[in-house]
Amino acid sequence: MSSKSDLFERPVGAPLLASTNTARVRDQAFSGFDLPQELQSLSDVLREFVKKEICPVEASLDPTERAIPEDKLALLQAKARQLDFWCLDAPVEFGGGGLSTFQMTVVWEQASRHRFAFPVPGGGVFGYSPPVPLYSGNDDQIDRYVRPAIAKGLKTFTAISEPTGGSDPARAMRTTAVRQGDHFVLNGRKMWSTNADEADFGVVYARTDPAKGRAGISAFVLETNTPGMHVSKIPVMRNHWTTEIALENCKIPVENLIGKEGEGFGLAQKWMVRGRLMLASQALGVAEEAIRLAVDWAKERETFGALLATRQGIQFPLADSLVELNAARLLTWQAAWKDDQGEDARVEASMAKLYASEMGFRVVDRAIQILGGMGLAKEMNLEHWFRDLRTMRIVEGGSEIQRYLIARDMLGAAAIGRRD
């Protein structure tokens, strides 16, 4: 078999070797603890791409940069396209790679072993897949939004959380969409919508029938040049800001309704498993890279005449980190495998997101402590990941929400004070 370096050093523009062909990867199912050959090869090549192409670009940037600059990003994206690493999670029929949930957890982990791994694995180098509910759109919506977004690498946004609450959007949602002839008129405010300031369009959720609870929530395509839509940035603790969206009598055509009225919440739930497993996989990739940095430092750094690697105070945190990393990976793989079987994997995805996000934060925190002063230096990536992982414990359902969902599945009606 070819070595990883041989796989990576093939001529730019040459198709992927058979052992890393995306189509062959798609046809394989995970059936044990060893990855199928094609998926392992794809994982190896992607890891080398991140190491040899993305990491050097990031290392050359000023520490105050918030993301890979657009000119450098465009060059990296061109290379990713040539290697068939483009929108691997998007359906094949729309121009994506069509990888399954399990296959994507493996890919997302390797694509996250670098500084700007959040909010998108690869920092946008591997493209931006459009909001998943759009895959359920009609032919016109697919042609107008999905295919161009994948082909052109367009950024999109999702707007569901509001100032009144993000953890329970079904009850907290106040944004309304009122039909008036051949249009809907949207009014309300959305919070924490990543990329709304840079996107061409996104998916916004609003109440079309306030009396029906979650069954009265619908999803719409909203173009960012729509009159009455105002976007403002919200600086947060991590480098990548988020946005607030104000909707003031925004008129959008009826054709922008995704599916039927009242189906919006169900469409959002289809996205939750993959969304939470993407975050879990990002935490895995960053945690493994943090462990590598800490191990390398412990093997080289001397204190009081001996290597740090000889100190139990260093050995034990490293051992704990590796144990927790492997446990988080197995939880993530289990949830992804179940989703690929067509089973309900929401609880397993909650377990994976909960444990992996908190694991990643602990691992990076330990690595910072082991490196001491250097752990705080921006050139080491650790302090950057520390802030990103602290954010991850809140986004896509905070740790408390994940624990509640897991406990509710265990306790049934008793979790809300009722006897069976």
The contacts of residue 329 (CB under 8 Å, 6+ apart) are 109, 284
Q: What's the CA gap between 383 and 337, in Å, rounded?
A: 33
Q: Which amino acid is at 137?
A: G
Q: What's the CA gap between 195 and 205, in Å, rounded?
A: 16
Q: What's the CA gap between 38 and 61, in Å, rounded?
A: 34
Structure tokens at 91: 């359906």
Among 145, 182, 199, which Cα is nearest to 190's? 199
Q: How far is CA 316 from CA 68, 305, 313, 322, 371, in A?
A: 35, 20, 6, 10, 15
The contacts of residue 50 (CB under 8 Å, 6+ apart) are 110, 111, 113, 114, 122
Query: Would you give the DSSP letter of residue 360?
Result: H
Exactly one of 248, 383, 396, 400 is catalytic; name it: 396
CB 359 within 8 A of CB 283: yes
CB 150 within 8 A of CB 89: no
Tally: H helices and E strands in the chain: 15, 10
Active site residue 396: yes
- Please give the positions annotated as active site: 396
